[in-house]
Amino acid sequence: MPTSNNLERFEFPKDVRFECSRCALCCGDTEAKQRTILLLRSEAERISRTASKKASEFAHRKRGAEPYAYAMRKKADGKCVFLADNLCTIYGIRPLICRFYPFRLDNPSNGEYVFSVTQECPGVGKGRQFKRRYFDALFAEFAESMRQNNQ
């Protein structure tokens, strides 16, 4: 788990621009990619409380993906169960993976975290340029989520 001592220990993509076009591509499967929206235990509990649903109604247990404990269920069309008219119905409490998109955070064996950006998102290359400060905030959010998950 990251601590305040290693908040600076990550790499991030330079000169990346992004602006969400609200296409909802990230919210479900495509012809080219089958998505798995992973949830921390703490995220599933928060969504359960806020949405007044049992976790089993919107997620299923996921083993071997620690620290994630659940995977979001999908509708028949392969889209997230919380997507309605291309809008997230739990946007304010959406999972960390969703908050990060189109970026992802990996932790290779060297211990340094690495942010990467997907090129599949049509909003990449548009909009404002993301600087170190943005990734600092994302990483701090990640660290806090891990802290909450370990309580």
* Residues 83-128: tens digit of each pLDDT: 999 999 999 999 999 999 999 999 876 778 999 999 999 999 999 9
Decide: residue 20, CB within 10 A, 0-12 exposed, 13-18 middle, 19+ buried. middle
H-run or E-run covering 116: strand 113-117
Structure tokens at 63: 């083993």
pTM value is 0.86
In the chain, the amino acid numbered 95 is P
pLDDT at 8: 56
Q: Which two tokens stand for residue 135?
A: 């990734």
Report pLDDT digits (tens) over 17-71. Answer: 999 999 999 999 988 899 999 999 999 999 999 999 999 999 999 999 889 999 9
For position 17, what pLDDT does the model report? 96
- Which range marks the domain in which residue 37 is found? 4-149
Whether residue 148 has pLDDT greater than 80: yes
Model confidence at 2: pLDDT above 80: no
pLDDT at residue number 111: 75
pLDDT (0 to 100) of residue 3: 47
> In the chain, how many domains are there?
1
Q: According to DSSP H, which parts of the chain are helical?
A: 41-51, 55-58, 96-100, 132-149
1-to-66, 113, 136 alpha-carbon distances in Å = 12, 11, 16
Residue 76: the pLDDT is 96
Rounded distance between C-alpha atoms, residue 151 and residue 26, angstroms: 29
DSSP code per residue over 61-94: E--SSTTEEEEE-B-TTSBBTTEETTEETTGGG-
Q: Can you give the pLDDT at residue 52? A: 96
